[in-house]
A and B are shown apart, each in its own frame.
Chain A
């Protein structure tokens, strides 16, 4: 076991997969000579050369499309998009091409690409660098969407994503790249599907993904001090969603909060709670609560930004509301 930062975990997964399979390449802006905005490919340019660590011009839609075209010949491109906001420029090639080519071709052609991109707010990056957009990708048939909460999944899910035959969008987070965790020294994989109970509890279920998992864990600690036992579920995959794990947890605790950093409309919370209504409505003892961002473009001003984005206290307050304590 070694303490590893999130970015180091991603870098290690790239390195191992590129060493194993010459068909694996990485593409993105500033990922080579410049070492990568998040250092996720640092040092790999020198090791694998410019034909495998490909510095791209600022042309998100078409370099993603080039990666998709390469994947149709059997290559395994890992595409870094510097911010999920910029991934909107690549929606045509991801949503209209990568997600549909297998189906449109009657199963003849796979597009095994990985798109890695950080969603989420950092510190005063303002509206055009702070979008989350998980809800946009999770609504697309033909994609897998995963949200590693820490180095263990960042490493293990990237390795799985590279090897899977489906297009996979990995949503990382601006504030998680330096998050550290002990991960095994020997090679391992973490599957792309399946939610995970990461804290057992009996009174309430807190559901998160990506960064909001950490808000749930922090809220769970505060709830414990109040004598409330909270279970925390990390969704891990937003497409597909593991409804079975959610159902089991809700049937145990009978109460639920969903925490998302996205805005609420047509979002992760609405999807999860709808699933709960369909799967185990009668298990609920009280109304579910969604903790989410304000329905505004993210403001620059620090005070306004803080007000717009949910924090651990919001999750805690949401849980108290579900528990009937406030």
Chain B
């Protein structure tokens, strides 16, 4: 990887952290409503995996789908950050025209097929996206990001089985942050190593990797994506990671200790990668400070402004998008009497 790309990746991770921090502020100002689930701490996973996928190329993209902690996955896939922010503000210029909100970011033009609030629901949807790719004979694959908590849903087991028997080109990325909402994995899950839950059970290749260091994520993701694309088979990849903030904004984090949080914060993916690039003399600490300022500037003057200035959806449009708004009368009717 070129030095310029490494710098860009660090910049992206800092951007994602600052973006999420800024949504937190907007939430406290009540500019953002509902639920807000922040990705801070896990940046290396989505950034590293999607760096190795086909993203940012419109309809040529691989299909990407995830749960409700979806802002960063959407942006890295190609959704404009300002539209994601506008969506959080509930504005008509948001990714989903203000109809979805934080948990339901979609950008069909970039094959970002959504954030979903039902834990585990994206498993079968992802396998279906992969079925579509396989059926059409494109070289696209589907990539599904979910947490360890999702693996205790029935959809996990049902989908792993079908993805395997039907050889669907789907990469399941398990972001194991150790908690299913507020319950630690060792109290909710019999097998702590998630990648072991698919290998013999569903005859699917799988592996587990460090998820706080993007230099660990990237080669593992590349190998897995190459396998899925070339072999036209599913793969399950697990990254060990940690979310620095609570499950959502209403979470007081009473289920974990300050000591545990401090231990993980030492492994902040941005700190790790900054140090790597500084040690390799690819970037200086001063460059990073400048980068942070530029990012904050962009977030404030472009992204937040776009969201603040965006129009509210019109109440007259309440009933749009429920069904096809321009249906073909031959199929829909009315019935000719």
CB distance from B123 to the nearest CB of A (A): 7
Task: Tell yes or no: A97 within 8 A of B by CB.
Answer: yes
State whether A65 and B104 are in contact (beta carbons under 8 Å apart), knowing that A73-B63, A75-B132, A165-B327 are contacts in the complex: no
In angstroms, Cα B324 to Cα A107, docked, is 8
Q: Does B310 contact A (CB under 8 A)?
A: no
Question: Is the beta-carbon distance between A61 and B154 smaller than 8 angstroms?
Answer: yes
Closest partner residue, chain A, to B95 (CB atom): A106
Category for how many chain B residues contact A: 35 or more
Q: How many residues of A contact B (CB 8 A)?
A: 57
Are A104 and B133 closer than 8 Å at their CB atoms? no
- Pick out which of these stretches binds chain A: B35-43, B111-119, B215-223, B263-271: B111-119
- B333 touching A194, Cβ below 8 Å: yes
Residue from A74, A106, A110 having most chain B Cβ neighbours under 10 A: A106
| A109-B106, A165-B324, A191-B333 given; A93·B127 CB < 8 A | no
Within 8 Å CB of B127, what residues of A? 62, 65-66, 69
Residues B125 and A72 in contact, CB atoms below 8 Å apart: yes
**B133 / chain A contacts, CB cutoff of 8 Å:** 73
User: Are B128 and A70 neighbours in the complex by a CB distance under 8 Å?
Assistant: yes
Distance (whole angstroms) from the CB of B25 to the closest CB of chain A: 25
Q: Known: A106-B95, A166-B323. Contact between A236 and B162, CB under 8 A?
A: no
Chain A residues within 8 Å of B132, by CB = 69-70, 72-75
Question: Which of A37-45, A51-59, A171-179, A282-290 binds B?
Answer: A51-59
Q: Which residue of B lies closest to A157 (CB)?
A: B331
Q: Is B158 an interface residue (CB 8 A)?
A: yes
Q: Counting CB contacts under 8 A, is B176 at the interface?
A: no
Q: Return chain A residues, CB-CB under 8 Å to B99.
A: 103-106
Answer yes or no: B330 CB below 8 A from chain A CBs: yes
Chain B residues positioned under 8 Å from A69 (CB to CB): 65, 113, 124-132, 142
What's the Cα separation between A159 and B96 when bound, in Å? 31
Contact B335 A73 (CB under 8 A): no
Within 8 A of B (CB), among A145-167: 159-161, 163-166
B95, B128, B325 pick with most chain A CB within 10 angstroms: B128
How would you classify the secondary structure of chain B's contact residues: helix, strand, loop or mixed? mixed
Assess whether A62 is in contact with B334, with CB atoms less than 8 Å apart.
Answer: no
Give chain B residues whose Cβ lies under 8 Å from the Cβ of A102. 321-324
Q: Is A181 an interface residue (CB 8 A)?
A: no
Taken together as a complex, chains A and B put the C-alpha atoms of A92 and B125 apart, in Å, by 12
Q: Is the CB of A194 within 8 A of B135?
A: no
Query: What's the least CB distance linking A200 to chain B, in Å?
Result: 12
Complex Cα spacing A101 to B103, Å: 12
In the complex, what distance in Å separates the CA atom of A141 from the CA atom of B321? Answer: 11
Q: Which residue of B lies closest to A90 (CB)?
A: B124
B-chain residues with CB within 8 Å of residue A92 when the two chains form the complex: 118, 121, 155
Q: Do B162 and A56 touch across chains, with their CB atoms under 8 A apart?
A: yes
A107 contacts B320, CB within 8 Å? yes
State how many angstroms separate the Cβ of A187 from the closest Cβ of chain B.
12
Are B106 and A104 in contact, CB atoms less than 8 angstroms apart? yes
Residues of A within 8 A of B330 (CB): 160, 163, 189, 191
Q: Write the nearest CB–CB distance from A240 to chain B, whole angstroms.
A: 9
Residues of B within 8 A of A103 (CB): 99, 321-322
**CB pair B128 A67 closer than 8 Å:** yes
Beta-carbon contacts of B125-167 to A below 8 Å, as 1s and 0s?
1111111110110000010000000000011001101100110
A54 contacts across to B, CB distance below 8 A? 166
B124's partner among A66, A108, A193 (CB-CB below 8 A) is A66
CB-CB under 8 A for A75 and B131, given A108-B106, A142-B322, A166-B323: yes
Contacts of B95 in A (CB 8 A): 106
Q: Which B296-333 residues have C-beta < 8 A from chain A?
A: 320-325, 327-333
Q: List chain B residues, Cβ under 8 A from A109.
A: 106, 108, 113-114
**A96 within 8 Å of B (CB atoms):** yes
* 30 pairs of residues in contact across A and B, judged by CB atoms under 8 Å: A57-B165, A59-B158, A59-B161, A63-B162, A65-B128, A65-B155, A66-B128, A68-B125, A69-B126, A69-B129, A70-B129, A72-B125, A73-B63, A73-B131, A73-B132, A74-B136, A102-B323, A104-B99, A104-B104, A105-B106, A105-B108, A107-B321, A109-B106, A110-B324, A160-B331, A163-B328, A166-B323, A192-B333, A193-B332, A194-B335
In the A-B complex, list the 6 residue pairs whose CB atoms are closest, starting with the nearest.
A69-B128, A65-B124, A73-B132, A194-B335, A106-B97, A191-B333
Known pairs A93-B121, A166-B323, A191-B332 / 16 extra A-B pairs, C-beta < 8 Å? A57-B165, A62-B162, A63-B124, A66-B159, A66-B162, A67-B128, A70-B132, A72-B132, A92-B155, A93-B125, A97-B121, A106-B99, A142-B323, A159-B331, A194-B334, A197-B337
Chain A residues proximal to chain B, CB less than 8 Å: 23, 25, 51, 54, 56-57, 59, 61-75, 92-93, 96-97, 101-110, 141-142, 144, 159-161, 163-166, 189-197, 236, 242
